[in-house]
Amino acid sequence: MGLLSTIISKVFGSKAATPTPTAPATPTAAPVEIVAVAEAVAVPVEPIDVTAYLDGLAAASKEKLAWKTSIVDLMKLVGMESSLADRKELARELHYTGDTSDSAAMNVWLHKQVLQQIAKHGGKLPPELLD
């Protein structure tokens, strides 16, 4: 599972259903076509208020995390490693074309892309976080 899938799964939690490929039940079963799934991404059963959920996590956190403006804080808030190496991996996964050595620009881009992907997968976020 990629980092984006992990973030989305952590945001949607148990309110999501994760698609899985079809596989034979036993080794002696008749051949079954296995459907390729590039990324198993959590898909919410119904839209969830991501802002309320993440604000709740932030309020319960001992650390002050500005998830609305920081990819590092967003990743920390959902319990993920937010190292530069992990953010560069996330940038590759999301096809970032900028210079990954410019971590400030990369982080701004990543934050916007991740929030847009969360919204695309059924998360409700205010428009100002998606622009």
Q: 63-98 pLDDT, tens per residue?
A: 999 999 999 999 999 999 999 999 999 999 999 999
Residue 49: helix, strand or coil by DSSP?
A: strand
Q: What pLDDT does residue 41 have?
A: 54
Measured CA to CA, the distance from residue 118 to residue 42 in angstroms comes to: 10
Domain count, the chain: 1
Task: Assess if residue 62 is contained within a domain.
Answer: yes
Task: Assess if residue 124 is contained within a domain.
Answer: yes
Confidence of residue 45 (pLDDT cuts 50, 70, 90): low
**pTM greater than the 0.85 cutoff:** no
Task: Assess if residue 26 is contained within a domain.
Answer: no
Domain span at residue 57 reads 3-11+46-130
Task: Assess if residue 123 is contained within a domain.
Answer: yes
Measured CA to CA, the distance from residue 30 to residue 10 in angstroms comes to: 36
Count CB neighbours of 114 within 10 A.
Answer: 20
- Are 51 and 41 within 8 A, CB to CB? no
Structure tokens at 72: 């590092």
Using alpha carbons, select from 44, 60, 39 the residue that is nearest to residue 10: 44
pLDDT digits (tens, 9 = 90+) for 27-39: 444 444 444 444 5
